[in-house]
Structure 1
Amino acid sequence: MMKLDGVVAFVMTVEAGSISRAAQRLGLAKSVVSERLAELERSLGTTLIQRSTRRLSLTASGETFLPRAQRILREAEEATSELAARSGKLAGPLRISAPVGFGILHLGPALGAFLRDYPDIDLSLELDDNFVDAATGGFDAVLRHGAVGDGRLIARRLARSRRLLVASPGYMERHGTPRVPEELERHRGLLYSNRTGDWRFSAPGQGWSVIRPRAALRVNSGLIMRDAAIEGLGIALLPTFFIHEALANGALVEVDVGLQAEGAELFLAYPKDHGAAAKIRVFGDSLRRSFGSPPYWERRDLEKPSTDT
């Protein structure tokens, strides 16, 4: 008889791209996932995945079985969520991906509040600054800052965050303070390498104005950009959720060139008709309560809202 845990192991291995990564996401030993795959193949009487030392590939049988396996899991999750919602109790796995810097700074207390309210949910969080496809990446939902232009997904807005140009007081003393956008091109820019090197600003009645600063540093970490700006290495364009404390204590100051930078709103994105939709909704609601409205990184007092229930 085909077991559901074998189907889970198969789908997760395909979505993760390897047995090792699937085991990591499932919180299991690699040998356990391998055995469950083998047991599934024995029960079906066919090979689903062709294993080699370098990569895994689906056989013709695997290609045929994959969409059915995904549907089996989706329907099982939908049934479980529906029964749990009716009983007022949510339980089971919830897999979330989030950006590294935001997760380090803001998700710890927020997750604590969520798990106190829903102790029977088995939450897995993976931090990754690379693009994660919420529809096919093996996660129930993905936390993103920026627009989600994907028709396959539902995107719930969690909080807003402005992007501000910032520099250290020492940098401004040495290099001068730019007053208009054109002057930024003569300054040292600290740029986020996972986005285009352009800085985008909204000009009233004129659409977007694009500035291309001279790069002093390119890095795929907003936290390192913040620290480099504090050290006086250049000007950075960063969301307020990275820099609110540095602005409050004077380590950074805002560089005002008369234009508003493109924002960085936070969204929780997940596939339409997802089986774990009830758990995702309460997760999103919990994050919104923890962040506050407006979120604490947008408030001058910097006092985080209470997470006590």
Structure 2
Amino acid sequence: MMKLEGISTFVAVAESGSISEAARRLRLSKSVVSERLAELERQIGAVLLHRTTRRLTLTEDGSAFLERASRITRDVEEAAADMAERRGMLVGPLRISAPVTLGRMHLGPALYPFLLAHPDIELSLDLDDRRIDVAAAGYDAVVRHGLIADSRLMAWRLATSQRVLVASPVYLDLHGTPASIEELDRHKGVFYANRGVSDWSFATAKGVVMVRARTGLNVNNGDMMRDAAIAGLGIAMLPTFVAGAAIKAGQLKIIDVGVNAEPEHIYIAHPEGRRPSAKLRALADHVRQAFGNPAYWDC
């Protein structure tokens, strides 16, 4: 008879792509993970994974087994959570991905009181600026800032997000302050690499207009964008939750070009078709209240 621990271990390895990462996620040694995989393959009578020194890949049998194994693991976790919720408890694992800067500056401080109030929740928070496939990577939800690009996600809004053009006083003294979006192409920009050419988008009377200045720096992290703008590398479009403190300190100045950046949101999203757990709903409600409306960083 197959053991549930072997099935859940296989799912963790398949989702993470390595035994080491699966062991970290499961809080087990690599040897235990390997033993569970070997035992599961013996019980099934099939090789589920190709193992090389560099990577793990699913065999054809492994790919076929993964879909049902994932469903079994998820169903068991949800059943255990349902029983706990019936007793008025919020317990069990919860795995969430969030951007690095938002997580460090605002999400973490919002979550700490929640976790203290619900000590039986086992939260794994992965900070990563990459766009990920939430379901395939094994996350219960993802926190993101911007527009929702994946139609397979169900999103709940946590806060509105205001983005502003900013630059250092030194940069503006040297290169002048643009007064319209047409003047922006004569300046250098610090761009968020994960957005590509759509990083600077403005809501105008004629619709959304995208502008591209000359590239001073492309980077996929908000902290570095802010710091590069402070250093005088160019103009950056930053959310106020990133740039607010530097603006108040006089390190950055807001540039008014007559139109506003396209409105965006901070949201938490879970895979479509998967019923969100009570603990995920409670976490989202807590973070929404902690951020405030309007968000505390805009007050």
Whole-Å Cα distance in 2 between the matches of residues 151 and 264 of structure 1?
A: 17
1:200 match? 201
Instruction: Tell me if the contact between 2:270 and 2:276 (Cα under 8 Å) persists in the aligned partners.
Output: no
Whole-Å Cα distance in 2 between the matches of residues 149 and 65 of structure 1?
A: 29
1:96 match? 96
Q: How far has the Cα of 1:50 moved from its partner?
A: 2.1
Whole-Å Cα distance in 2 between the matches of residues 264 and 23 of structure 1?
A: 37
Whole-Å Cα distance in 1 between the matches of residues 105 and 127 of structure 2?
A: 12
Instruction: Tell me if the contact between 1:95 and 1:139 (Cα under 8 Å) persists in the aligned partners.
Output: yes
1:263 match? 263
Instruction: Tell me if the contact between 1:228 and 1:234 (Cα under 8 Å) persists in the aligned partners.
Output: yes
The number of residue pairs the alignment matches comes to: 298
Letter in 2 for 1:295: A
Whole-Å Cα distance in 2 between the matches of residues 104 and 85 of structure 1?
A: 30
Letter in 2 for 1:201: F
User: How has the CA–CA distance of structure 1 residues 276 and 31 changed in structure 2, closer, same or farther, with 3 Å as cutoff?
Assistant: farther
Gapped regions of structure 1 (runs ≥ 5): 300-309
Q: Deviations over 1:65-108 (max 9, x none)?
A: 21111111121122112111111101111111111111111122
2:291 match? 291
1:134 match? 134
Instruction: Tell me if the contact between 2:96 and 2:124 (Cα under 8 Å) persists in the aligned partners.
Output: yes
**Structure 1 residue 235 corresponds to structure 2 residue 235:** yes
Whole-Å Cα distance in 1 between the matches of residues 275 and 120 of structure 2?
A: 17
Instruction: Tell me if the contact between 1:161 and 1:266 (Cα under 8 Å) persists in the aligned partners.
Output: yes
1:278 match? 278
Q: How far has the Cα of 1:118 moved from its partner?
A: 1.2
Letter in 2 for 1:188: K
Q: How far has the Cα of 1:276 moved from its partner?
A: 5.3
Q: Deviations over 1:104-141 (max 9, x none)?
A: 11122112112012110111111111111112112111
1:190 match? 190
Whole-Å Cα distance in 2 between the matches of residues 196 and 250 of structure 1?
A: 29
User: After superposition, where does 1:156-167 map in structure 2 within 5 Å?
Assistant: 156-167=156-167
Gapped regions of structure 2 (runs ≥ 5): none
Instruction: Tell me if the contact between 1:77 and 1:275 (Cα under 8 Å) persists in the aligned partners.
Output: no
Q: How far has the Cα of 1:275 moved from its partner?
A: 5.8
Q: How far has the Cα of 1:46 moved from its partner?
A: 2.6
User: How has the CA–CA distance of structure 1 residues 283 and 69 changed in structure 2, closer, same or farther, with 3 Å as cutoff?
Assistant: same
Q: Deviations over 1:5-39 (max 9, x none)?
A: 21111111111112122222223322222122122
Q: How far has the Cα of 1:246 moved from its partner?
A: 1.1
2:250 match? 250
Instruction: Note the aligned Cα RMSD (angstroms).
Output: 1.6
TM-score by length of 2: 0.94
TM-score by length of 1: 0.91
Bigger mean CA deviation after superposition, 153-162 or 14-23? 14-23
Instruction: Tell me if the contact between 1:98 and 1:144 (Cα under 8 Å) persists in the aligned partners.
Output: yes
User: How has the CA–CA distance of structure 1 residues 60 and 170 changed in structure 2, closer, same or farther, with 3 Å as cutoff?
Assistant: closer
1:74 match? 74
2:109 match? 109
Percentage identity across aligned positions? 54
Letter in 2 for 1:141: A
Letter in 1 for 2:201: R
Q: How far has the Cα of 1:256 moved from its partner?
A: 0.4
1:215 match? 215
Instruction: Tell me if the contact between 1:113 and 1:290 (Cα under 8 Å) persists in the aligned partners.
Output: no
